């Protein structure tokens, strides 16, 4: 199975600070069809996960544009440009290129 | 708007089975696959499998073959997951999530396996 390694496991930030989360894959996530199925989720405390970014860099409808995704192959990054209080929670990367789909271990974003 | 309404919490005994439901609304049920995901504190998020509501076709994580069975009822726009031969290791929160990009999630269903 593809292993997704997220760093850091915990991230402390102040409101307005910009932060980045890394997701590294044990295999290239470039599918034979040319697409890369690497997505980012946020799970707020007590809630279900929600989709933020899909296919590396595409912003899900309704998600603020302070969120952005980048990367290719095995290295991917989620950036939040100006953290807001509502952004606190656990961020997960997930890949759907190789079966079975797998998730990263999560990065907990907390207030400093 | 798209909504996935899951059935409630379950407390079940080891060796028994449980069937969870996920009722979809706000979109054409047969137009999107449905995933099932397991969440535990120890193992994090694990993908169980996916079903095509239109055809009934399924794909499972090998780890959950024989444990989980995915079905749908198109008449009620509901997806189901049956978990069999339950052990304490099956205690978790189970989510349904829509489509190949998981763009909508149910609220989760807690399953506790205990004698």
Nearest Cα residue in chain A from B106: A48
| A19 pLDDT above the threshold of 90 | yes
Please give the Cα distance from A29 to A76 (Å, whole number): 10
Task: Show Cβ contacts of residue B95 under 8 Å, excluding neighbours closer than 6 positions.
Answer: A48, A49, B6, B36, B37, B38, B39, B105, B106, B108, B109
| B41 pLDDT above the threshold of 90 | no
Instruction: Check if A32 contacts B (Cβ < 8 Å).
Output: no
Residues from chain A contacting residue B59 (CB–CB below 8 Å) = 99
Listed residue (B33, B30, B70) closest to B48, CA to CA: B70
At B14 the pLDDT is: 97
Chain B from 3 to 32: CB within 8 A of any A CB:
none
pLDDT in tens, A84-109: 999 999 999 999 999 999 999 999 99
Question: Are the beta carbons of B52 and B32 closer than 8 angstroms?
Answer: no
Nearest Cα residue in chain B from A48: B107
Listed residue (B48, B45, B20) closest to B35, CA to CA: B48
pLDDT in tens, B49-89: 999 999 999 999 999 999 999 999 999 999 999 999 999 99
Instruction: Check if A96 contacts B (Cβ < 8 Å).
Output: yes
| Residue that the structure tokens 């708007």 belong to | B1
Helices (runs of H) and strands (runs of E) counted in chain A: 0, 11
Question: Are the beta carbons of B7 and B21 closer than 8 angstroms?
Answer: yes
Residues from chain B contacting residue A50 (CB–CB below 8 Å) = 105
Of B62, B63, B105, the CB nearest to A48: B105
Determine the Cα angle at A43 with ends A41 and A45, to 5°.
Answer: 170
Of A54, A92, A106, the CB nearest to B101: A54
Q: Please tell me the distance in Å from B62's CA to the nearest CA on chain A.
A: 8
Please give the Cα distance from A6 to A26 (Å, whole number): 12
Q: Pairing relation of β-strands B109-113 and B10-12?
A: parallel
CA dihedral in degrees (A77, A82, A87, A89; nearest 10)? 50
Of B101, B105, B107, the CB nearest to A39: B101
A112 pLDDT tier (thresholds 50, 70, 90): confident
Residues from chain B contacting residue A96 (CB–CB below 8 Å) = 100-101
Using a pLDDT cut of 70, give the percent of chain A over it.
100
Using a pLDDT cut of 90, give the percent of chain B over it.
97
The β-bridge partners of A92 are A41
């Amino acid at each position: 199975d593809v292993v997704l390694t997220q760093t850091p496991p915990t991230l402390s930030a102040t409101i307005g600070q910009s932060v980045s989360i890394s997701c590294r894959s044990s295999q290239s996530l470039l599918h034979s069809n040319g697409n890369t199925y690497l997505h980012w989720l946020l799970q707020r405390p007590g809630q279900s996960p929600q989709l933020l970014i899909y296919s590396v860099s595409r912003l899900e409808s309704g998600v603020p544009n302070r969120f952005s995704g980048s990367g290719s192959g095995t290295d991917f990054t989620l950036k939040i440009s100006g953290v807001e209080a509502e952004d606190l929670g656990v961020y997960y990367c997930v890949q759907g290129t190789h079966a079975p789909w797998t998730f990263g271990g999560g990065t907990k974003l907390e207030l400093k | 708007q798209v909504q996935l309404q899951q059935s409630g919490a379950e407390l079940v005994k080891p060796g028994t089975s449980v069937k969870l439901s996920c009722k979809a609304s706000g979109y054409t049920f047969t137009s999107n696959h449905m995933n099932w995901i397991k969440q535990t504190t120890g193992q994090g998020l694990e993908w169980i499998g996916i079903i095509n509501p239109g055809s009934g076709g399924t794909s499972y994580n090998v780890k959950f073959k024989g444990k989980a069975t995915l079905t749908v009822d198109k008449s009620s726009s509901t997806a189901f997951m049956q978990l069999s031969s339950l052990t304490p290791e099956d205690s978790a929160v189970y989510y349904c999530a829509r489509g190949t990009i998981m763009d909508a999630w149910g609220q989760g269903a807690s399953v506790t396996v205990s004698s």
